């Protein structure tokens, strides 16, 4: 089950159809193919009568820049290994502790087995298992 931000906190952007409510999802990954497949898989999804707007960035620095100025994302898919072996974990730490954003749901992804100690990460960064 997904729990997203309340309806009134999600506002359409210029790229959306006027007055259309969407769930905004940030994809943070340095692999272009990951963005393409994520867009392909989720492009037609409708959740609670809302479509998804997928926003792609390719580094943790890009993610920080966009998240500093935009709190309308309900979820982020974050790759653990990008610029460094722990860039994604550092981004999650920044989101939770520096940005103080506890409402965005974070989904960690990695193609590098063993790059994130699962139990520690889930507890430390409020990553909830389904």
**pLDDT single digits (tens) 31-85:** 999 999 999 999 999 999 999 999 999 999 999 999 999 999 999 999 999 999 8
CA distance linking residue 57 with residue 11, whole number of Å? 20
Domain span at residue 125 reads 59-130
pLDDT band at 12 (very low <50, low <70, confident <90, very high): very low
CA distance linking residue 7 with residue 87, whole number of Å? 31
Do 74 and 68 form a contact (C-beta atoms < 8 A)?
A: no
CA distance linking residue 104 with residue 124, whole number of Å? 15
pLDDT in tens, 87-113: 999 999 999 999 999 999 999 888 876
Does residue 113 fall inside a structural domain?
Answer: yes
98 to each of 11, 20, 63, 80, 126, how far by Cα in Å? Answer: 24, 31, 14, 18, 14
Q: 22-28 and 105-109 as β-strands: parallel, antiparallel, unpaired?
A: unpaired
The domain total for the chain is 1
Does residue 71 fall inside a structural domain?
Answer: yes
pTM value is 0.77
**Lowest mean pLDDT across 15-19, 21-25, 45-49, 102-106:** 15-19
65 to each of 1, 8, 37, 120, how far by Cα in Å? Answer: 29, 23, 24, 26
Does residue 66 fall inside a structural domain?
Answer: yes
pLDDT band at 115 (very low <50, low <70, confident <90, very high): low
Does residue 54 fall inside a structural domain?
Answer: no
Does residue 33 fall inside a structural domain?
Answer: no
């Amino acid at each position: 089950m997904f729990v997203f931000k309340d309806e009134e906190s999600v506002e359409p952007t210029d790229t959306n159809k006027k007055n259309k409510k969407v769930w905004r999802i940030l994809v943070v990954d340095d692999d272009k193919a990951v963005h393409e497949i994520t867009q392909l898989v989720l492009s037609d999804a409708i959740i609670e009568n809302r479509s998804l707007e997928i926003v792609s960035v390719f580094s943790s620095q890009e993610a920080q820049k966009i998240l500093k100025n935009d709190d309308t994302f309900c979820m982020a898919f974050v790759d653990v290994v990008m610029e460094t072996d722990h860039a994604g974990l550092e981004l999650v730490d920044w989101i939770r502790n520096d940005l103080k954003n506890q409402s965005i749901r974070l989904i960690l992804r990695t193609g590098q087995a063993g790059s994130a100690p699962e139990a520690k990460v889930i507890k430390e960064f409020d990553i909830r298992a389904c």
